[in-house]
Structure formats: structure tokens, C-alpha cells
Chain A
Amino acid sequence: MSQQEVHMQIMWNRLISIVEEQALTLVRTAFSTSVREAGDLSAGVFDRSGRMIAQAVTGTPGHVNTMAAAVGHFITDIGTERICPGDVYLTNDPWKGTGHLHDITVTTPVFVNEKLIGFFANTAHVVDVGGRGYGPDAREVYEEGLRIPIMKWIDRGELNHDLVNIIRNNVREDDQVVGDIHGLAASNETGRRRLLDMLNEFALDDLDNLARFIFDRTRTATMTALAAVAPGTYANTMAVDGYDETVELVVELSVTDGGIHADFTGTSPLSAFGINVPITYAQAYFTYAMLVALAPELPNNFASLEPFTVSAPSGVILNAQHPDPVSVRHVIGHFVTDLCLGAIAPALPDTIPAEGSGALWNFQASARAVTPSPDRPPVELLMFNSGGAGARPTLDGLTATAFPSGVMTMSAEATEQVGPIIIWRKEIRPASAGDGEFRGGLGQIIEIGATDGYHLEFSAMFDRVDNPARGRNGGGDGAPGKVYLDDGTPFPTKGKKTVPAERRLVLELPGGGGFGNPQNRDPLAHANDVAQGYLAQPHENPEATA
């Protein structure tokens, strides 16, 4: 091996650093809560044929390969002969982008000496796209908001004012949305300039050799990692609550020498609500599951993603087609990871965790004045909350931690600054973990109410109430979730309902499943659980155990 290879490695590192800068710039400027707190964004650099060479580490699994596939669509739809220096393109098409209208993908071509050498692309979740607003209630994607086909945002340096105008007139918070699109374009531009500097420093005219080196190296390492699983088929079925009826998720994984294919035949049919998943998004969470299980240290690029393919008959919930509603596709999409991990578990018994709470319990509400008045405008509230994760083969599950989502929660104090709500309680939910040699992660209890003459119009979308996270290898199931008012009145776990002004809503988030026979649990670990109050009865006052 030669010094040339050392150079290649240095340039590979540099590319990863460049896309990281691209992503961080976005996080800093974004208005969207989910970009900022949840890293609901993605950034990457691509070769001239649209194959992803490097992707920022900052980002969410949901964009693992959705954005990677998007650039190919841009090249096809714009047409090679219309790709010019100074251009910037965008789309929010759920099937050509990342699965719902709220994600805007922006792509910028890079030219050297008038020759196209590659692209930068990034994706971010914007605050609004018009339509009914963010939620599952639309019956067709037309109701979910403005759909922008792949088109030019900037044409050879000229901003497309007509498009800006259309967007401004079709979304709420148009300054923020248009501001975020400018931010996406500017962050690509940062990447483009840094790439040109790098090419200059290393005296290169294009990315072809570097891309080939990166793909070769990655392909070899990915194939080595895949060899850990014996060829054959592995199947799994998992039931989750769904929106209006139980959703049965079914997968069959076919492992061959060349890759792993997931087929979702047998999965429940489409829902009438916007929880349907474009298959590109199901592929993202399947691929994520395979990468965490087999090759966690490999960087995402064309070669590490290529071996993972999917299929599903049309009409199943994991293969939504236009114009099916798909706004909150993450609710079912996030379960695809546990579904596929469960399938591969027999082949990797020392790696795969038990099931976890999976879907987030996002608190999404509109605070409305009980007596409408101009001094009390409506306030929209959004808070991300996580239940317990599944136990690992050698470790307890993570308490109140998101998986597979990369979300973080918001501070209660900061949330109370935003709107007329009080978070009365947000703490660990004892006795909610699945038992086992290694126990699941604990869920949490949240108690929340309106204040200042407001009540809460609540949009509920809580899963794992009827279908708890299952244990693995003899471990127990995690506790199912519960939703009720503080006077004990049951509260629906799905749909829109008002929390009366004088009442508080109580959410008991599900726990993660346990791993292994509980009788094998280390007595010291059990004693510690007792000492810390992790096993106390749910309604025991915390101070009684303190």
C-alpha cells in the first residue's frame, strides 16, 4: 500500500468532515423543533451519477437511505442537459424524498471547469407545509399540504421567485419555511465551496477515483460484516396498536452472499389515516436495523447501503402509494427496526436486544383559551418523550430513551416558557421494565395540564398500549402504556380529544422487554433495583421509597 492510499484516506475523512459542517450549519439555523432537538435532518455528498459518497453522522436513521436515493430522482427529473452551474433544486415529494411532505430535500450540483463532478444534498423537517397540519387525519396526501415536485429553486444563480411565492401562499409560518429552505441551500453551498478547496489542495479535477476507493473499501467491509449471518431466510411478526386497529407487521429476510432482502408480504393493509409508510422509509429503518446489528462502525454511503433491499405488495401499510396519506409515517415506520432485529435475532443471539417501546410518545397539543379572547391566542405545543428501550444480551435496557429514533426530549422549564401548560410530573415509571437476566429500560410518567384559562386540544398517537414490548430469550414483556386523566377517567390513546381546563393528563410510557431468564439475574443487580426504587409499585409516592 502506498502513500497514495494514505491520501485517499485523508480525503475520505475530509469529506465526512465537510458533510458534518453542512449538517451542523443546518442545526444552528433551523426553526423546526424536530431538526433542532431531534436531529431530523440529513446531509451528504454524491458522485456525478447520484451515488452517495459520504453522509453526516449528525442526522436521523429515517434519512439513512431515503435521501441517498433522492439524488437519483433529481438527476432523472431535472435531466442531465438542464443541470447547470449555479443551480439549486428541491422537492418534498414523499416518494422521491424522505417519506412525507414535511421533509424538504435540497440538491446542489458541483461543477469544476464546467464539468459536473457531483452533488450536495440535504433534508430537513420544516415547521409547516400547509394542508391540515401535521397529524394523521388526512385521507389523501392532497390534504396533507403543498407537494412540490422536483424543480429548480435557483436557476443558474437566479432565485425562482414564482416558486417562493407559491410556497409563501400555501404554508403557515411562511417566513420560517422559506428561511429554512434558504438555510438548506446555504448549507449545500458551504459544502460545495469546501469541496472545491479540497480538490484544489489535493490537485484533483473530479471525485471519481476517490468515490471508487471509498465504495471498494466499504463494499469489502460490508460483505465481511454480512458474513456473520448464515444465508437463509429469517422471519418475524410483530403486532402494534396502529391508529384505529391493530397492525400486524410481517417480514421475511432473505440473506444471500450479496446482501439482505426484506419482504413485507403479509403485513396489514393500508390505514385510512396518515400513518402509512412509503417503502423508501421502511427501507431506511430496515437498513438501520441491519447496520446496527452487523456493521455499526461503517460509514453510510452507496456501498454500505446497496446490499439492503426491500419489497412489499402494494396495498400493505409499509408500501403506501400516491395519493395515500403518509404525514406521520414514523409512527409505524419506527417499529420496522424492532421487527427486523427480531427476525435476525436467531442468527445473532449475542447481539440483538429485546423489543422496546419503539414509537415515541410525542406530546402534541393546541392550547386554546376556554373563553376565546385576543389576549389568549392559540399556542401549538410539541414535546418528544420516550419510553424504555429493550434489554441487551449483556446489559439492561436504557430507561426513557429513544430507539430507533434519534430524538431528544425538551426541557420542562423551556416548554413552560413557550405556552400555557404546566408539566406537573416527568419521572421514571417504576416497575415498568420487562424482567430478565437483564431487565428492560423503564418507562416514564408524565402529568401535564393547561393553565392561565386555557385547555388542551390533544392529538393522541400512543402505541404499545395493547401490544407491549416483548422480552427475548425468556425475558418478560415491558409494561404496556396507559393514558388517563388525573381523576382516573380513561383517555383515548388515539385521535383528537380535549383535556378539560381543570384536569391533568397522565401518560404512563411503556417499558422495554427483558432479556434472558429472570432467575439468572445477578442478585446484586436486583438488590440495586430495589434500593433505587426501580421496582416499587407504580403509584407509591416517590418520597416513600427515598
Chain B
Amino acid sequence: MAGPVRIGADVGGTFTDVVAELADGSFVSTKVLTTHQGPEQGILAGIEALAAEHTIAMADVEQIIHGTTLATNALIERRGAPTAFVTTKGFRDVIETRTEGRFEQYDLNIVLPTPLIERKDRFVIPERMNARGEVLIEFDQVAAHAVIESIAAGGYQAVAVGFLHSYRNASHERRFRELLLDTLPDVAVSMSAEVSPQMREFERFNTVCANAYVQPLMASYLKRLEAELQRRGATCPLYLIHSGGGLVSVDTAAAFPVRLVESGPAGGAIFAADLAARYGRDRVLSYDMGGTTAKIAIIEDHTPQTAKTFEVARTTRFKKGSGMPISIPVIEMIEIGAGGGSIASVDSLGQIRIGPHSAGSEPGPAAYDRGGSAPTVTDANVKLGRLHPDTFGATDISLSPELAADAIRAAIGQPLDMDDLTAAVGIAEVVDENMTNAARVHAVENGKNLSGFSMIAFGGGAPLHATRLMDKLGLEELLVPPLAGVGSAIGFLRAPFAYEAVRSLYTRIDDFDFDAVNTVLAELTNDAETFVRQGTDQDVVVEQHVSMRYKGQGWEIPVRLDGGRFDEFAAESLEGTFTKAYETFFGRAINDQPIEAVSWSVRVASVLAAPPRIEMASGQRTIKATSTREMYDPVAGRLVQAGVTTRNALNVGDIVAGPAIITEAQTTTVLGSHHVAVVQSDHALRISRSNQSNQDVTA
């Protein structure tokens, strides 16, 4: 097909997904194995395969958007460059002593994550700012030269610089960078005041170290990829999706590669947010389940929730505190060890536990017959009749129900004296309960109540479990979009050019430093817009937020600003806005307690055309299933005869009544006895409980 084409490429841990949006707005996609040695090879192979199959000329490609777990994996596997960290004298060990706490209170043999940069590679310089950014100790140039000599002698490829309070005054960090580059012009330098100018030294230092550590690797990878794409005839620019869900240029990505961490999941949240806009749903729970983990995000007003800090490379059961903090704007989500490959076991209380260990794709679930013997969530789904050899999407894998049952019996059924079916029910119920509880806790942590939310399910595993989650959470509506298996890559094509700049500036509302605030907001706006302008000339929208709290509290809530300049009166109205936001979060405000503002953020994003609104299709005709098979229904509490339908054969307005199984290449959607699906004009399945009317849910 001729005409302009856009390509999205998502490099994940197991698969590289490539999608192309053709001139008529339709999508084609392919999945290839990720090539860990040279990740660009997988993308190039995927693009070539797609181009050949659909006769796409590379010259017609007008945009390639890329997201990758490469930076994340380099942090997890510690495959970065030899990196030195230079900091304020007296604070050499901040990234090693961490929070001084234990993330697991009851484990005597707890192992804390080792610092990204070892103590021998950390250097100190006498210098010091105070909290207002005033110099207490002058920068020691002689000491700096000595450190630079050590860096030269040590053969470091990258250097991270992080001084105390540099988010208020970066001059000493800049001085050091200049001196360093005078002597070592080829070394890659990252400055904490540029990478993450947020207060709290552990998080900021760790973020700048992570950036420096992956920078040489990411910069060379991005340049190779760009060159290879050009060699294949691409004339269009390459853009990267970042963790905050926007696009940035290759240059920006190469300078701030830590912003690429978690970019794949961000694509998934954008995918869901776009669908929420199309359906006019203001409150959505996005649920993405793959082979290893499930990710849940809250999307309100078609916008995913964001945070200013998150944790990567968790070492212990995805437990909070067991990873390394990264302070950059990020789409907020909760990730738990619940995927198709998650392994089930029995603990000392005789309870079934799921994960966090995953059989992954190698050796995979027992049913794959590739050497895996531990029962997984997928094996339970086979035993329960939800997955079947005849209709399993992946053509290169043949499912063995016998092996699935054997594994479940050996690890769960026999120790607990349960028959195979009950054991499989136990596995499925526990993993569903785990995901449900994670969603609830995530909502509580964000001050939300999930009642009235719609769920959007995507990723290979989610449609198998989504109706059960919907019931457990008491939600009324579930959407399973088409192409759910490559949702993240499609999300890339729905993202705006966007950049969020954040900086800490502490001020009290009753002693409001509006000059400093106005300056910071102007600088942040300028910074963010500069990055966005590297990608687009389109109109942009500017959003400003401030994080505020009552004095004495440690957790801030975001308050949206109206964008005007501050004066005394604006500070007063800010107090009112905060009080209202606090009431929304916690149900009541506190009287007479001083209010503080801690950090300021500005997001500049290109304005995208609003996606077309989808008219709700009402059910026209109930489809008769092509065949039936036995499937376990958790609400009925027994095996039932479920109709089996191929999703490709469904048309707009078709009604599929549960119990049913709807199969497609990349996933399977399960309906319980009391569920009903109506096929929408975009071929999404809209699922509700059959005791509700299908037409009564309005936007």
C-alpha cells in the first residue's frame, strides 16, 4: 500500500513488537524474538519483514517511534560503562547507605541492593551549598584536578556528578564538568542538576549515576540504529518514547537515557488512555498482563497518572525498597509478579503462592513441553479449559494438557490433597486475587476509589483473567481492544511529543518566594519546550504543577497551576486549591497548619488531534458458537460448556454470551456464564455482566 506510514517498535525482554499504521489508518504488526546481542537487529528484521509482507516502501515511512527495555536491562544486569561518581566531600556513600532501612522486616539474611557505582569509584571534592543555594564552601579547584587525574588514570568512560543542593545552584557541578571536559573531552558526563534537579540526595545521586552508567551504551545503540535505518532507505526521523509517555529526539534520548527506563509499559498506558478517549471513559483501570508480570495503571480524563520518582531493578519479589530509585517523571503503575509464566507453589502454611519466579519463555510453562516442570498460571488456564491446544494462538507452541495436569498435581494437588481441577482453580483464584489486591492498594495509595471505573485489558495474558478481575473489583465494564497483544507499540504511535521538567524549590505559602517561583517556572517551561521543539513545530500545550503538603508531612500531593505569574494574591489562591485537592485525597483538610510547596513541574506537549469518538454499538444478534468445550466457571463454581468463537469472524454488533471463549492469534478472551460481549465498531469487545443492560452505560 502506498502513502505515508508510521512505525512503532517495542523491544521487550522476550519479543520485539513492530507495528505499522498504514495510510488508511489500519494497523499491521509482527512479533520477532528480541536479539539481545544487538537489539537493533531484531527491530530491523521486524521492519523488513513487515515492509516486505505489506509492500511498504521505506521512503514512505514518515516516522519511526521506538521504545526499549535496553536501559532497564543494563541497570538490572549491571552491563553499563565503567563509571565514576564525583560528589560533595562528606557524602561519598549516599548511594550505598541508601535509606538505612530494610525492605523486608522478617528476613535475617536480607541482601540490600549493591550500589551501581562501587565505593572505590566514588570521589569527593570539598565544596558545599546550603538549602537556599548559597555557597558555604568554595569549590576546591585543586582537589578537582586531583580527582580528574584519578578519573583519567582509572580509565572511566562515564562520569556522574552530584553535589548537595545542586537543584538550587548548579554552578559547582558545572564548574567540575568544564574542568573535566577540558582534560578528558571524550568522557560522557551526566550532571545531577540536569538529569534530575529534585531534592533528596539519595534519589538524585542514584538517578545521575544510572544515567551516566547506561549513557555510552545507549548513545552508541541509538546511533547504530539510526544509521542502519538510513542505510535501508528510511529518510524519516527516529524518535524515542520516554517513561513519562512522550516522544523525544534521538539526541535528547542519548543525553538522558535514564528517561527511557520503563518506556515500554508507558506505551501500554498511552494505548489504554487513547482507547479511553475514543470511548469517552473518564475513569479507567489499565490492566496489562504478560509472561512475567502484570501492570496496573489508573487513567483519569484520558491521561495516565504520573509520578516523579519510581524504582527499577527490584531484587526481591518486586518489593518496594529492593530496587534503585530513579527520580524522573514517569507514568505511574504498579507491577507485580503475576504473569502467564508465574510459578505456583505451596508454602509452610499450606497456602498456594504464585510467583514471583517465572518460567519465562524458556523453559516456559509445563504445558509447552520445553522442559518446564513447575506449574504456572498458563498451566492452570489449560487445565481449566480456558486455553486449548487447538485454539492456542502461538503456532510454534503445542500445548500439552497432560503435562500441565502432571505439574499441577505434583506441586499443588498432592501436597494439599486436592484433585487436579481444584488445584488449578486454586492457582487461578490466587493469582486473580493477587492482581485484584494490587489494584486496590494502588488505588488507595493514590487516594482513588475504583467504583465506577472501566477496565481496559491488553497484553497476552490479561483477556484470560480480566472478567474475573472485573467481578472481584465490582467494575461494570471491560474493554478488550483489538491488537491487544501489541498494545504498547501501538501506544507509541498515539503519544505526543512531550517533555516534563521538574525542579525542587522549597517555599512556604505564608512566606511565598514568588520571584524565585516565577523564575523556576519560566526556566522549566523553556527547558521542556526546547526538548519538544527538537521534534515538532506543532502547537504545544503547557501544564504546570506544584507538589504541596502541610508542614510536617512527608508526602506531597500534586496541585495544578493555572499558568499565570505569581504575586501575593496568587499565593493565597494556591492555598485554596491545595486545601481542595487535599480534601479530595483524604476526605478532610487540616486547619491552621502551614502549607509548603516542594517541587515544581512543567510539561510541554504537542497538541494531538482528539481521537475520533466511537459510537457505542449495541448488540444486534447473538452469535452461535462454532463449537463448545468444557471450561471452569468460578462464579458457578463448576465446569460448564463454553462456546468457542474466533474473534476474526466477529462483526460489529455481534453479541457473544457467556460462558464463552473468544480466540485470536495473540490472546484468548474468557467470558463467565454471567458475562456478555458486544463487538464494537473498532472491533473491541465490550464486556459487561448480563444482568446489566448493555446500553445503559453512558460516558
On A, residues with C-beta under 8 Å from B are: 1-3, 5-6, 9-10, 12-14, 17, 20-21, 24-25, 27-31, 33, 36-37, 57, 61, 127, 173, 175-176, 179, 182-183, 186, 190, 197, 201, 217-218, 220-221, 224-225, 291-293, 295-299, 351-353, 384-386, 392, 394-395, 398-403, 406-409, 411-414, 416-417, 422-428, 444, 447, 451, 531-534, 542-543, 545-546
Contact indicator B348/A534 (Cβ below 8 Å): no
Contact indicator B164/A413 (Cβ below 8 Å): yes
A503 CB → nearest B CB, Å: 16
Contacts of A61 in B (CB 8 A): 105
Query: Could you say which of B37-45, B88-96, B276-284, B661-669 contacts chain A?
Result: B88-96
Given contacts A10-B430, A28-B445, A292-B108, contact A428 B93 (CB under 8 A): yes
Which chain A residue has the least Cβ–Cβ distance from B418?
A: A1
Tell me which of B92, B109, B637 contacts A542 (CB under 8 A).
Answer: B92
Check B615 for interface membership: any CB of A closer than 8 A: no
Contacts of B434 in A (CB 8 A): 13
- How far is A218 from B554 in the complex, measured between Cα atoms in Å? 36
Number of interface residues of B (CB under 8 A): 79
Contact indicator B433/A406 (Cβ below 8 Å): no
B244 CB → nearest A CB, Å: 23
Contact indicator B108/A353 (Cβ below 8 Å): yes
Given contacts A24-B445, A176-B590, contact A412 B430 (CB under 8 A): no
Tell me which of B100, B164, B199, B429 contacts A402 (CB under 8 A).
Answer: B100
Contact indicator A298/B348 (Cβ below 8 Å): yes
Contact indicator A416/B130 (Cβ below 8 Å): yes
* B:623-647 near A, CB below 8 Å: 637
Contact indicator A543/B143 (Cβ below 8 Å): yes
Tell me which of A13, A385, A425 contacts B90 (CB under 8 A).
Answer: A425
Which chain A residue has the least Cβ–Cβ distance from B474?
A: A197
Check B351 for interface membership: any CB of A closer than 8 A: yes
Tell me which of A21, A409, A428 contacts B96 (CB under 8 A).
Answer: A428
Q: List 13 A-B contacts (CB under 8 A).
A: A6-B429, A29-B553, A176-B590, A217-B350, A221-B349, A297-B348, A352-B108, A402-B102, A403-B102, A407-B101, A409-B101, A427-B97, A428-B93
A57 CB → nearest B CB, Å: 8
On B, residues with C-beta under 8 Å from A are: 89-94, 96-97, 99-102, 105-112, 118-120, 122-124, 128, 130-131, 136, 143, 146-147, 150, 164-165, 199-202, 347-352, 416-418, 422, 425-426, 429-430, 433-434, 437, 440-441, 444-445, 447, 472, 474, 506, 550, 552-555, 585-588, 590-593, 637
Contacts of A295 in B (CB 8 A): 348
Contact indicator A417/B590 (Cβ below 8 Å): no
Of all A-B residue pairs in the complex, the 7 with the closest CB atoms, nearest first, are A425-B90, A408-B101, A17-B437, A296-B106, A36-B554, A409-B100, A408-B99
Contacts of B440 in A (CB 8 A): 17, 21
Given contacts A17-B440, A225-B348, A428-B97, contact A31 B552 (CB under 8 A): yes
Contact indicator B92/A400 (Cβ below 8 Å): no
Contact indicator B554/A33 (Cβ below 8 Å): yes
Contact indicator A532/B118 (Cβ below 8 Å): yes
Given contacts A14-B433, A175-B593, contact A6 B422 (CB under 8 A): yes
Which chain B residue has the least Cβ–Cβ distance from A178?
A: B590
Given contacts A298-B349, A425-B90, A543-B89, contact A395 B111 (CB under 8 A): yes
Tell me which of A6, A224, A531 contacts B426 (CB under 8 A).
Answer: A6
Which chain A residue has the least Cβ–Cβ distance from B111?
A: A395
Contacts of A31 in B (CB 8 A): 550, 552-553, 593
Contact indicator A427/B92 (Cβ below 8 Å): yes
Contacts of A175 in B (CB 8 A): 590-593
Contact indicator B418/A17 (Cβ below 8 Å): no
Given contacts A3-B637, A6-B425, contact A297 B106 (CB under 8 A): yes
Given contacts A6-B422, A400-B100, A409-B100, contact A13 B433 (CB under 8 A): yes
